[in-house]
Structure 1
Amino acid sequence: MSKLSKQDKVEIYHLWHDYQISPAELSQRYRVGRTNISYLLALIGRHGLTILDQPFTAYTSNFKEQALRRIIVEHEPARRVSIDLGLKSSGMLYNWLREYRKNGYNIVNKQRGRQPHDQKRTADQTGKSATQARERTLTPAELEAENRERIRKKIERLSRPADQEPQAAEIAQAVTQLRRELKVSVTFILDAINANPNLPHLSRSNYYYTLKKKDKERDNQEIMAKIKAIYEEHKHRYVYRRITAELRRRGLLVNHKEVQRLMNKLKLFGIVSKRWLKYNSYRSTQGPIKPDLIKRSFSAVYPNHKWYSDVTEIKLKGQKTYLSPIIDGCTQEIVSYTIFRSPNLKQTMDMLKKTWHKYPALNGLIFHTNQGWQYQNGQFQAWLKSHGISQSMSRKGNSLDDGLMAGFFGILKREMFYGFEKQYKNLTELEDAIRDYIEYYNQKRIKIKLKGLTLIEYRKLVLS
């Protein structure tokens, strides 16, 4: 586990715990054995992330003896004992056991600190001479035979179920490690593996293909983690195209088809459109009907040139609330809104007054609505006229004439109401959720047609 920094270990745990990335995939990504990854996850699961801050510990002879007793006398699995004791690596316990047997079943703690100079020199000379003597005694044939034996043991020790051969990725990783350890060629290692009928075989072409595939899968794991984070951040409202745009905003260039494929692999599906019912505010003719100045040309070149409004009804547990917003034809942001428990003229007039405080200069603005009774009211029409605003109305029975406003109602209900009704205990909670959603819609939700910007960012861009 020495290859991994503390940050790597924390990241591995979160990828496994939060994003359900398997130990095998994490092993490939971080180029660490799957056994070590599994041990790390079990260790953190037992002791928490604070175990990573544990300083170096010089274990006493009594501590080691008690640990080994659990294995030898009580027959506990070594891995379980290691995790229970909080050892950084399961290999520590196996080393203690090997030394214990080597020293005649006695615990011998090595002397810590630097050896005296004369002792160190003697030991170095002894070790060096032994190594040189060994190298002189091995012939090329014997060295080759020893390397083949090490290769055999390495491949046999690959972690796997008893009835299943290791995957090509595991074998390729072992081959790469053997190249570094033995200083031999890939051809030599693969020949040694393939010549042994008891070992799983791997061709040279498959080895290089697996290495290339591992690099691609590692990149995909990073993208998938980002996709899942964006998906959760936006409460499952984003589908693949909007997630692609968000990834590009964060500096990651990726094709939308690739994002769609990875989302399908992760089983992440955005909220599907659903039919919704709109409150019908028409009550026959109440006042003068204004001409349609928009004629379904909803967009505007600059903000505060075309505004649209309507009222929608949302029903929860037999009770109703009514939302009356204004949407800008250029930025498509919600300029102002009011929420009332009943549709009345005060709701509409309060919406206008809130807008006036925010934008006091509205000369030349076109304000478009349907033929609802509120918009035919003399008080409403007089207010628009006194502020230099031209009133426009849809034709009777043509809901598409106010399509921009209808589109917003559909998005709102699809992304925070339909399918989420059980989350709201009463109308108060629902109304608070509507306010939160409108804030999110203006400030955070990107729009593909507006160059992948949020509505507020697009307003700043247009006005700059």
Structure 2
Amino acid sequence: MYSYEERKKAVELYIKFDKSACAVVRELGYPDTKMLKAWHREYLEKGDLHKKNRLGYTSEQRAAAVQYYLEHGRSLARTVRALGYPCRPLLGEWVHEDLPSDCHPLKRGKSVVEYTDKQKMDAVVSVASGEKTAKQLQEEIGVTRSAVYQWKRQLLGEVSNPEMRKKSQKESEKASSEQEIQLRAECDELKDERDRLQEQVQKLQMEKEILEKAAEILKKDEGIGIDTLSNREKAMIIDALTGRYTISQLLPSLHMAKSSYFYQIQAMKKDKYELVRKDLRNVFSENRQCYGYRRLHAVMTSNGSTISEKVILRLMHEENLVVPSVKRKRYSSYKGELSPEVENIIKRDFHAENPNEKWLSDITEFSIPAGKVYLSPMVDCFDGYVTSWTRGTSPNAEMVNSMLDEAVGTLKAGEHPLVHTDRGSHYRWPGWIERMNRAGLVRSMSKKGCSPDNSACEGFFGRLKNEMFHSRSWFGESIEEFCALLDDYIYWYNEKRIKMSLGARSPLEYRRSLGLAS
């Protein structure tokens, strides 16, 4: 711990040396550069460095400790036990500094009570004869156990005649040193013998387990021998015993080369992703063959698998699990400016904090051999949930208006979402405008010929066609059958199809997790 003056001097030199920490350390020999920079920051922030009491004790704590010392028998130990602070040397310093010169604390290391030689002799005799124990003496005359044994050593002459004691000590040390050297040599020999025997026992135990494992794995009870085993059988035994022994220990016992072992292991290696491949194909098929590797990884993880996305991607390539993708010319409902222009309020901000805050709508076309089918959905920007939809063989006003009526029917009191569409004629006819005004909905329209202004709805159409429409042939399917499959896909899209942006949950599951749906 550095004092205030030392820290102040270091900071002043740091400023003087153009903030060269290395120069200050070389000059003063303290502190490290990190601590110096911390002192400098404190100096800049507060205009000065803090001043600490020793060990962080306040002046009130110090005064309380000295006062307790005076009022309770002037005992350092009693004061420290009662207050829990500080250490006895520090308390002694406080007392020495604060009290007058005639009031000093008792010195440590010096007995308060002086005992006569006769008292010491009586105490030693009573303990040596077994008449009393050191504990009993401590209770009677207030002397500690260690003091009794110190008196014993003094009275029996163990401390007297230091010259004789030194000579005797040197002779005993010399004798003990020679004996220690001899004992060490014998101990080393015994340790070597023990290690040799342990190694031999381990080798015999390993050979025994090799034969037992061979009989267990290879089902050979009679006539089994290491020399009669093939390299493949030896590799199987080594693989079974690697938990107890290392490969370097097992190979010599089986008379097998390291390269031969690894060759056999590679030859016996099975596809560890066999079960994963099967689950992957099932998940891909159950989800209309439209999940990429990220969503497949999310489903596999939710099922308890710990496989990574990279492995999922590689297995998809190996299993030829490809999501169909075909780009077709999109349907356009623009018929010219039929009503006054409407402002683009949404301005490509498709984020919504709550359901029924921003809606998107458009019309898309499906061309199958049996005819054309048109779909008009209402998509919620909150989570992509399809609030309502209608489909038919003609993109007329009735299809669009009925879709709007169904969507309005799902609203709660006080909900008036913004509805964004393109500049199609369906959204500029009087029937649509009247319904919007009656429900209190706000209209918003894209710029002319600018599909990115309604990209979120276009994205829904793209996913729908890639996952449901372009992935199969529609020969032999009627209009009614196609519409039923279209409805089935949208139900699946709302309730089961996971979205990574929703934490690998479907829109309905996401709303339930937030308590917004039952």
Q: TM-score range by the shorter chain?
A: 0.5 to 0.7
CA contact (8 A) 1:442 1:456 kept: yes
How many Å apart are 1:288 and its aligned residue?
2.4
Please show how residues 213-228 of structure 1 align to structure 2 within 5 Å. 218=272, 220-228=273-281
Paired position in structure 2 for 1:436: 488
From 452, 455, 458, the equivalent of 2:510 is: 458
- Which SS does the other structure have where 1:327 is aligned? strand
CA contact (8 A) 2:420 2:446 kept: yes
Paired position in structure 1 for 2:427: 375
Q: Does 1:357 align with 2:409?
A: yes
CA contact (8 A) 2:235 2:261 kept: no
From 331, 341, 364, the equivalent of 1:289 is: 341
Paired position in structure 2 for 1:399: 451
CA contact (8 A) 2:368 2:474 kept: no
How many Å apart are 1:262 and its aligned residue?
2.3
How many Å apart are 1:420 and its aligned residue?
0.9
CA contact (8 A) 2:498 2:505 kept: yes
How has the CA–CA distance of structure 1 residues 177 and 250 changed in structure 2, closer, same or farther, with 3 Å as cutoff? closer
- Aligned equivalents of 1:251 and 1:350: distance in 2? 44
Output the amino acid matched with 1:155: S
- Aligned equivalents of 2:483 and 2:448: distance in 1? 30
- Aligned equivalents of 1:293 and 1:264: distance in 2? 44
- Which SS does the other structure have where 1:252 is aligned? coil
- Aligned equivalents of 2:351 and 2:301: distance in 1? 25
Paired position in structure 2 for 1:246: 299
How many Å apart are 1:378 and its aligned residue?
1.2
- Aligned equivalents of 2:302 and 2:250: distance in 1? 46
Paired position in structure 1 for 2:235: 172
Q: Does 1:410 align with 2:462?
A: yes
Deviations 1:92-136 (A, max 9, x none): xxxxxxxxxxxxxxxxxxxxxxxxxxxxxxxxxxxxxxxxxxxxx
From 262, 268, 284, the equivalent of 1:206 is: 262
- Aligned equivalents of 2:407 and 2:465: distance in 1? 23
Paired position in structure 1 for 2:41: none
CA contact (8 A) 1:300 1:330 kept: yes
- Which SS does the other structure have where 2:384 is aligned? coil
Paired position in structure 2 for 1:262: 315
Output the amino acid matched with 1:397: G
Give the % identical residues.
30
- Aligned equivalents of 1:190 and 1:245: distance in 2? 44
Paired position in structure 1 for 2:290: 237
- Aligned equivalents of 1:341 and 1:241: distance in 2? 36
Paired position in structure 1 for 2:501: 449
Deviations 1:25-74 (A, max 9, x none): xxxxxxxxxxxxxxxxxxxxxxxxxxxxxxxxxxxxxxxxxxxxxxxxxx
- Which SS does the other structure have where 1:282 is aligned? coil
Paired position in structure 1 for 2:392: 340
- Aligned equivalents of 1:262 and 1:374: distance in 2? 46
How many Å apart are 1:225 and its aligned residue?
2.9
How has the CA–CA distance of structure 1 residues 186 and 403 changed in structure 2, closer, same or farther, with 3 Å as cutoff? closer
- Aligned equivalents of 2:478 and 2:444: distance in 1? 36
How many Å apart are 1:452 and its aligned residue?
1.4
How has the CA–CA distance of structure 1 residues 334 and 171 changed in structure 2, closer, same or farther, with 3 Å as cutoff? farther
TM-score by length of 2: 0.52
- Aligned equivalents of 2:501 and 2:431: distance in 1? 37
How many Å apart are 1:253 and its aligned residue?
3.4
How many Å apart are 1:246 and its aligned residue?
1.4
Which ranges of structure 1 fall in alignment gaps of 5 or more residues? 1-139, 157-165, 196-200
Output the amino acid matched with 2:235: A
Cα RMSD (Å): 3.5
- Aligned equivalents of 1:204 and 1:187: distance in 2? 13
- Aligned equivalents of 1:147 and 1:178: distance in 2? 21
- Which SS does the other structure have where 2:444 is aligned? strand
How has the CA–CA distance of structure 1 residues 238 and 184 changed in structure 2, closer, same or farther, with 3 Å as cutoff? closer
Output the amino acid matched with 2:262: N
- Aligned equivalents of 1:245 and 1:435: distance in 2? 25
How many Å apart are 1:209 and its aligned residue?
7.3
How many Å apart are 1:417 and its aligned residue?
1.1
How has the CA–CA distance of structure 1 residues 394 and 185 changed in structure 2, closer, same or farther, with 3 Å as cutoff? closer
CA contact (8 A) 1:328 1:335 kept: yes
Deviations 1:329-373 (A, max 9, x none): 011011110011111111011111222333243633100000111
- Which SS does the other structure have where 2:447 is aligned? coil
Tell me which of the two structures has the higher relative contact order, counting C-alpha pairs closer than 8 angstroms and 6 or more residues apart: 1
Please show how residues 25-424 of structure 1 align to structure 2 within 5 Å. 149-151=224-226, 154-155=229-230, 172-176=235-239, 190-191=251-252, 194=255, 203=259, 206=262, 218=272, 220-271=273-324, 273-317=325-369, 319-361=371-413, 363-422=415-474
- Aligned equivalents of 1:322 and 1:294: distance in 2? 25
Q: Which has the larger radius of gyration?
A: 2
- Which SS does the other structure have where 1:421 is aligned? coil
Output the amino acid matched with 1:206: F
Deviations 1:404-440 (A, max 9, x none): 1111111111111114123652222211111111111
How has the CA–CA distance of structure 1 residues 155 and 453 changed in structure 2, closer, same or farther, with 3 Å as cutoff? same
- Aligned equivalents of 2:258 and 2:222: distance in 1? 18
- Which SS does the other structure have where 1:441 is aligned? helix
Output the amino acid matched with 1:270: V
How many Å apart are 1:255 and its aligned residue?
2.2
CA contact (8 A) 1:298 1:329 kept: yes
Paired position in structure 2 for 1:81: none
Which ranges of structure 2 fall in alignment gaps of 5 or more residues? 1-207, 213-220
